[in-house]
Chain A
């Protein structure tokens, strides 16, 4: 049952081959059995899940179901869920029970989804390995000594180990795509503003975007249909109609041109990953696509620009965590002046990586440095957007590796933030330019999954998902499951 895709299970539920309750019990049992070793969950909401499943079964019986009714899913613990702890992977919010649902959660709920729980993540989504979580690292289902990627590491591991059918995630610089690649599943980061950010705890507001982690592109299409669309509560959400992605992906294949940025295949890329990626591109050629080398002139500046912008925004976004109205308050917080109060609450509540980023962000916004850092970074961002816009005059999609290497060992990069930051090198361009992008399994290197990244023009999620879907029809990388969890 657990190896079936969301799309298959939706058909099973509709045909009454399985009930939502049976499905939910099955997955809860798997969570029970496997999560001790994976640490993918921060909170398991078994009771609520069974109640939702019962409601879903009623709804299916009554005939008012959607394709998602009764599907067991997990939410990254960055999405606020009414009445359920929303920790954002931080000690700061270990005691925080959100009083409301994020738009993504609300929309999934109204579609009839069953929430199994909330998944582990890098603290405040700051990390590429899920090692910065207050709740400890998540283990990669392919090898428990390795990281699953991050920051949506819990979501990725849960789907990869088939202890959830699908998961939500957020992607600020690769936090959906990179763990999808390292865990051997399909991840999509939609166009900036395609999915509402309301209720998603902000990291870097101008880059953050919610998306999904699933077994297949078809599953992603189905979920994205439910969560995308304008939301009056998020001024930056796009007021554009939501296409029927699940229909579009089934449309006849048309020969497209895929741009390949040669700079993505430089020395920084693992040679075996390069080989796997080239092989995936050849697969597209076999499907009838035309490959075209392209130059993205400023992409080499993306890491620099990205780390300035996102740290600047994060330093401000995280100011509200002061221990006054919610969140961690140190035991002796009040025994001193106001500054001490802040220092104790924030000093204890935040982990080292979060502090590092707040410090960096505060620095780049300071008087005298703002122009040199923040303004320059915004200029670079514009250049990178223009780069992509130029490329998309000639090509339909841009393709390349998702991450520079397969999953690495837990602890291998924790002392070297720069090496850790380079994990995002291929993914952050899409965030800086606000473009939709995916990672899909495209092979194995030394027994570990490798992801192919596809990037599309703004709002071209339909063609993007379609290209991924047709690839997945022709290949079976996405169907591989670690033996233990098969």
Chain B
């Protein structure tokens, strides 16, 4: 039996405003509990929400970047339910009229093809606080620092048909919100998290299966794994004669399984109605145009441009543009260095990425600046050092030992290129390896590599390898 998955994602991106969506309290992460909760966030009697315009501008930016329609008029609604970390007893969200709707993004699949994923809507809402059930000896603690933090909930159509596609879509949205600088994308801190609606159906069937909602997936890997596991569970369930029930499930990465979260989900009636404390958000064309003019170059556009301007492959351009900071870094190197752009691309994707990964750093925390890397590549291009030596210099700069020039100088790494010195080294090696010289002369070409290696070793790696090669051939030929 052939099955297919139908997946839709709801991504919650925490907007990077300095203050909360309806109060002036700071949104900074990690403060001591309840130190960043104003009277509005605490839901005190008599206080009223006042909309943070920056959150709206950020939502519009997202809408424009994803080809959404921007609603000229959208409305905040109250979603009513009781929970101790929901101070007002309702969450201010958007229900019938979201701020942006009807968009799409393209994702590139593993086989290189492009797929369009439709975005149903993205709406503004406030986050709830946090309940802390440990540490309080049978009681619960409530931290309302997060209450009122602005969220953009991005809802996709159920256009995704595999865990890999879901992962690619989530990465794409992640890249976009970071390009737009509307979300820091920090998944550990919960700034970017996702719920996945997953159902399965027999291939060719038009009717959608019953879906389960997987809550609070906070890494790309978890999204993919949770979807795989959940789809497998549903298929097994149906094939063994069972029925999938609509419910909210939680993915447990330790046991690699999903399990039901709330059994009374169906009983929830949120009694949505327009919030009478807030006026509708009205956005005119001039405002949309003004916001549009602030949009940066987006990943898709940048990828195309990198392919055209720097003659990079689609793959290289895709990797380099996945993060705006990485793309900017590459572009600075490529523009400053005399070396070919492809060389710059290789170094950024190779040495640099490896070093960042090794030290678990973000590109913004790189210990070698783009300008310094450009200088290093210049030194290779003009023959001052070899590529191999350059790696040593790179590590030394990374370790904070000095500038590229200082390290080359201090360690005496300048490549030996004068023919007299090289000839002398070559002569030494020929004299010391008569057996190998005989073999080469007898026609065993591959011995040349050994001899080159010996010369390089004798020069402590500094001899220009091409010149060594040429000199050996000349002397042995």
A interface residues with partner B (beta carbon < 8 Å): 79-80, 86, 88, 93, 96, 98-100, 102, 197-202, 204-206, 232-236, 312-313, 315-316, 318-322, 324-326, 334, 338, 342, 362, 365-367, 370, 374
B48 within 8 A of A: yes
Q: Is the CB of A316 within 8 A of B78?
A: yes
Query: Could you say which of A204, A316, A324, A374 contacts B80, with CB atoms under 8 Å apart?
Result: A316
**When each residue 37-50 of chain B gets 1 if its CB lies under 8 Å from chain A and 0 otherwise, what string results?**
00100111111111
Q: Decide: A342 near B48, CB < 8 A? Known: A325-B42, A366-B271.
A: no
Query: Could you say which of A235, A315, A319, A366 contacts B49, with CB atoms under 8 Å apart?
Result: A235
Q: Decide: A232 near B44, CB < 8 A? Known: A316-B80, A316-B89, A316-B90.
A: no
Q: Is the CB of B46 within 8 A of A198?
A: yes
A sample of 13 more A-B contacts (CB under 8 A), given A98-B46, A233-B50, A326-B45, is A102-B46, A199-B46, A204-B276, A205-B276, A236-B276, A236-B277, A315-B80, A315-B271, A316-B80, A319-B90, A320-B88, A324-B142, A325-B87
Q: Decide: A312 near B273, CB < 8 A? Known: A322-B82, A365-B80.
A: yes
Q: Decide: A324 near B84, CB < 8 A? Known: A205-B277, A367-B269.
A: yes
What is the CA–CA distance of A88 and B279 in the complex, to the nearest angstrom? 26
What is the CA–CA distance of A370 and B96 in the complex, to the nearest angstrom? 13
What is the CA–CA distance of A40 and B346 in the complex, to the nearest angstrom? 82
B window 55-103: CB within 8 A of A? 78, 80, 82, 84, 87-90
B window 167-202: CB within 8 A of A? none
Q: Is the CB of A338 within 8 A of B84?
A: yes
Q: Is the CB of B276 within 8 A of A235?
A: no
Q: Is the CB of A235 within 8 A of B277?
A: yes
What is the CA–CA distance of A365 and B276 in the complex, to the nearest angstrom? 14
Q: Which A residues are CB-close (under 8 A) to B43?
A: 320, 325
Q: Which B residues are CB-close (under 8 A) to A319?
A: 80, 82, 88-90
Please, which residue of chain A has its CB at the minimum distance from the CB of B50?
Answer: A235
Q: Which B residues are CB-close (under 8 A) to A96?
A: 45
Please, which residue of chain A has its CB at the minimum distance from the CB of B80?
Answer: A316
What is the CA–CA distance of A326 and B44 in the complex, to the nearest angstrom? 8
Q: Is the CB of A98 within 8 A of B45?
A: yes
What is the CA–CA distance of A362 and B279 in the complex, to the nearest angstrom? 23
**When each residue 146-185 of chain B gets 1 if its CB lies under 8 Å from chain A and 0 otherwise, what string results?**
0000000000000000000000000000000000000000
CB distance from A172 to the nearest CB of B (A): 12
B139 within 8 A of A: yes
Interface magnitude class on chain B: 20 to 34
Q: Which A residues are CB-close (under 8 A) to B229?
A: none
Query: Could you say which of B47, B50, B82, B273 contacts A232, with CB atoms under 8 Å apart?
Result: B50
Q: Which A residues are CB-close (under 8 A) to B278?
A: 235-236
What is the CA–CA distance of A199 and B277 in the complex, to the nearest angstrom? 13
Q: Is the CB of B39 within 8 A of A93?
A: no
Please, which residue of chain B has its CB at the minimum distance from the CB of A102?
Answer: B46
B51 within 8 A of A: yes
Most interface-central of B43, B51, B142, B278 (chain A CB within 10 A): B43
**19 pairs of residues in contact across A and B, judged by CB atoms under 8 Å:** A93-B45, A98-B46, A99-B39, A100-B44, A200-B46, A235-B49, A236-B276, A316-B89, A319-B90, A320-B45, A322-B89, A325-B44, A326-B45, A334-B139, A342-B82, A365-B271, A365-B272, A366-B269, A374-B273
Query: Could you say which of B39, B45, B82, B277 contacts A201, with CB atoms under 8 Å apart?
Result: B45
Q: Which B residues are CB-close (under 8 A) to A367?
A: 269, 271
Please, which residue of chain B has its CB at the minimum distance from the CB of A362?
Answer: B271
Q: Which A residues are CB-close (under 8 A) to B50?
A: 232-235
**A-B residue pairs, 4 tightest by C-beta:** A319-B89, A365-B271, A206-B276, A205-B276
B window 432-467: CB within 8 A of A? none
Most interface-central of A80, A99, A232, A320 (chain B CB within 10 A): A320
What is the CA–CA distance of A79 and B45 in the complex, to the nearest angstrom? 10
Query: Could you say which of A99, A313, A366 contacts B44, with CB atoms under 8 Å apart?
Result: A99
CB distance from A238 to the nearest CB of B (A): 11
What is the CA–CA distance of A44 and B227 in the complex, to the nearest angstrom? 63
CB distance from A378 to the nearest CB of B (A): 9
Q: Which A residues are CB-close (under 8 A) to B46?
A: 79-80, 86, 98, 102, 198-202
Q: Which B residues are CB-close (under 8 A) to A322?
A: 82, 84, 89
